[in-house]
Structure 1
Amino acid sequence: MGNQQVARDYYGILGVEQGADAAELKRAYRRLARELHPDVNPDPAAQERFAEISTAYEVLTDPEKRRIVDLGGDPLDNGRGGGGGAGDPFSAFGFGDIMDAFFGGAGGGRGRGPRSRVQPGADALIRMQLTLEECATGVQRELTVDTAVLCDQCGGNGCAPGTSPQGCPTCGGRGEVQSVQRSFLGQVVTSRPCPECRGLGEIIPDPCRQCAGDGRVRARRSVGVRIPAGVADGMRVRLAGQGEVGSGGGPAGDLYVEVEEIPHEVFQREGADLHVRLPLPMTAAALGATLPLPMLDGTTEDLHIEPGTQSGTLRTLRAKGMPRLRSTGRIDGQGDLVVHVEVTVPTKLDKEQTDLLRQLAKLRGEEQPDLAQKNGHGLFGRLFRQ
């Protein structure tokens, strides 16, 4: 038992339970990729971790590889898996092999066959910062992304120029090897992925020097993206087939561009509505005024202030907010612009201003505010009557 090898915990690497479905695996991978992708985190340790989670995701989304993991093995460990040592009665074959032999597995006459070297690529994520104005109008940009791309030396087959894959001499191209073992159950014919070709049925005797036989290399490239008007923070735009190329030159995943909206210094956004605070001098609030209110698009809109407007009054300008982005990507209507009026009271007055205000207070009978209001209708009138 001292030579026992422990299989990698692919579920633990992604932080999911063993019974996680495809959607949970994808969510976990994307969550980690947002933190660890080389475009986001240049730390070498993060890049190693990103490669680790990418491998775990690839393994757990492959049904055959996941089956090996669930049986306690490691599909990337040259078929050695995580079995026991020489003293283990199951050391020469896995429990899954025994079950295959009794219930229709390879040992029972049904071969799995070689698996494809070509595997689909993973999705990629990149973030783009946009101002509120850009979210309102939409933008078109060229992004620089760092992803796995098809190797231009071998075209994805992983072979050096002028060479090609050859059938595996160990398994004869079947991708699996069989053996007869004796156990307490009797004689059992077992089948397992070929350790020489790792279940592919072929080997590459002369790997491509550029990609080391993987069929893909990492490279920086430019990708054009159009962000529609009305997007908001956290929304994503999907670019199909612009993600990571799969191993063996497999089809690329998708590239997701996630919007990071930069907070505006004047307007606050709530969905498609915009909110703005309007400090209003008390004289304008008392007398009324018409003010040119700047809009997000650089134009102005006349805002009419009625005489006697109170602090906290809300004025709504219909269809002066953000474009509404529908699920189809079309713009359908605009949100509103909500103006929050805040009446400001002067904190410093010169003598002339003080005298004028005193005269106004005298004319209005407000030299000494009456909180009780003798008729009992004031805010504190009920307390004064007690």
Structure 2
Amino acid sequence: MAAKDLYEKDYYQILGVAGNADSAAIKKQYRKLARELHPDKTKGDKKLEDRFKAVSEAYDILSDSKKRREYDDARQAFKSGRVPPGFNGGSQGFNGGDFSDLFGPSGDIFSTLFGGARQRHGADLQTEASISFKDSIYGTELNLRLSPTGSAPTSITTRVPAGIKDGAKIKIKGRGAPGAAGPGDLYVLVHVTPHPIFSRKDENIHLTLPITFAEATLGADISVPTLDGDEVTVRIAPGTPSGRTLRVKGRGVKKGSTTGDLMIILDVRIPQRVDGEAKRAIEEFAKATKDFNPRAELFDKAKL
């Protein structure tokens, strides 16, 4: 990072948060922008791709308490002219010294600025990759092709651990920019592409299962797809309401020695049009159940 970036690049403005925003607000704003600017949604739009990269860079700094504190201190130091005398012309001639390892493993900002001729590690680098929902649950390998400034493109293969979440980072040690004390590290920001029918909450996988009115009323045994390609059979009890959740143990995300569950949310679907025999059957059903009034206590409760 060039020194001038420390006072010219306003990460708070880039991310759209106040200077005193807490970590929760920063994370919420980043997730909102990441959804809006994700490359899968902005294919071919260079301006939006650059915006996405800038937002990711800002989040990388502001989401890390140590990096954020050093960034804030550095900007304040440069704004007030507190730069080391004689360093690249002092505060009056400060036109972009190399601070590429400012937030790397070599130490805090002030030891970097005023620590003399200590050897420094190379800068940490960051790239991004998208994986499928299924790969995020079971793990996969990423083949990354990097094009460092002034260097030939290089290929790196890394393992994505099973159970990784959207927005997580994978650290590849020693694959960052070169430096006198050794190279920095490479961080891979992982984006998980949403699945058409499965979603995740903590270590459980969720699925909404449509069922018919007859299945909900009379009960049924129904086959349900799972993420690994198998099927499981769940039993719908007679009189099951829409929105009830069934649990299939051990079909969720594996984490250590435990595994989450598959949570099946039932969604009773009503046909939009009923004719002929089906209509007559429902009319007979309505007559036979005329004493059942699901709204019997509604108006009494409304007065409470």
TM-score (norm. length: structure 2): 0.64
Inter-partner Cα distance in structure 1 for 2:46 and 2:151:
14
Of 78, 92, 105, the residue aligned with 1:82 is 92
How far did residue 371 of structure 1 move?
A: 7.1
Q: For residues 142 and 131 of structure 1, what CA distance do their matches in structure 2 show? A: 14
Q: CA deviation at 1:114?
A: 7.8
CA contact (8 A) 1:74 1:82 kept: no
Show structure 2 runs of 5+ residues with no match: 13-29, 38-44, 58-66, 94-113
Superposed counterparts of 1:104-253, under 5 Å: 115=117, 119-147=120-148, 217-246=150-179, 249-253=180-184
List gaps (5 residues or longer) in structure 1: 1-7, 18-30, 36-40, 84-111, 149-216, 325-330, 373-377
Q: Are 1:277 and 2:208 an aligned pair?
A: yes
- Which one of the candidate residues 270, 273, 290 is aligned to 1:345? 270
Instruction: Name the residue aligned to 1:363.
Output: 288
Taking the aligned partners of 1:141 and 1:382, their CA distance within structure 2 comes to 61
Superposed displacement of residue 288, structure 1: 0.9
Give the AA of the match of 1:235. A
SS of 1:219's equivalent in the other structure is coil
What letter is aligned with 1:75?
A: F
| Equivalent position SS for 1:147 | coil
Between 1 and 2, higher relative CO (CA 8 Å, sep ≥ 6) is seen in 1
Any conservation in 2 of the 1:73–1:82 contact (CA below 8 Å)? no
Answering whether residue 183 of structure 2 is matched by residue 264 of structure 1, we say no
| Pairwise CA distance, 1:11 | 3.6
- In 2, the alpha carbon distance for the partners of 1:340 and 1:348 equals 25
Question: Over residues 267-326 of structure 1, what are the superposed CA-to-partner deviations in whole Å (9 max), with x where a residue is unaligned?
Answer: 1211211111111100011111111110011111111111111111111122211222xx
Seen in structure 2, the aligned counterparts of structure 1 residues 73 and 12 have a Cα distance that, compared at 3 Å, is farther
Q: Does 1:354 align with 2:285?
A: no
Which of the pair is proportionally richer in helix?
2
Amino acid corresponding to residue 143 of structure 1 in structure 2? L
Q: Which residue of structure 2 aligns with residue 309 of structure 1?
A: 240
Change (3 A) 1:230 1:71: closer
The Cα of 1:119 is off from its aligned counterpart by 3.4
2:240 partner SS: coil
Q: Which amino acid letter does the alignment assign opposite residue 184 of structure 2?
A: G
Counterpart amino acid of residue 266 in structure 1 = I
Q: Is the 8 A contact 1:320 1:334 kept in 2?
A: yes
Q: Deviations over 1:100-145 (max 9, x none)?
A: xxxxxxxxxxxx99836x5321101111111110011101122101
**How far did 1:380 drift?**
4.4
What is the rounded CA distance, in whole Å, between the counterparts of 2:190 and 2:278 in structure 1? 51
Aligned to 1:70, the other structure's residue is in SS state: coil
- Structure 1 partner of 2:257: 332
Whether contact under 8 Å (1:294, 1:301) holds in the other structure is yes
- Structure with greater Cα Rg: 1
> Structure 1's 371 and 264: CA in aligned 2 closer, same or farther, altered over 3 A?
closer
* 1:232 to partner: Cα distance: 0.5
Does the 8 Å CA contact 1:311/1:341 hold for their aligned counterparts? yes
Shift of 1:365: 3.4
How many residues align? The count is 229
Indicate if the aligned counterparts of 1:122 and 1:254 stay in contact, CA closer than 8 A: yes
In structure 2, what residue type is equivalent to 1:307?
P
Task: Confirm or deny: 8 A CA contact 2:171 2:188 kept in the other structure.
Answer: yes
Question: What is the aligned partner in structure 1 of residue 24 from structure 2?
Answer: none
Q: CA deviation at 1:82?
A: 1.8
Distance 1:229 1:113, change over 3 A: closer
Is contact 2:84-2:90 (8 Å) kept?
Answer: no
CA RMSD of aligned residues (A): 3.9
- Deviation of 1:332 (Å): 2.8
Percent identity over the alignment is 25
Q: For each residue in 1:319-368, what CA deviation from the matched residue of structure 2 results, as whole angstroms up to 9, or x when unmatched? A: 211222xxxxxx331112111111112221112111111222223336xx
Q: Distance in 2 between matches of 1:231 and 1:310?
A: 34
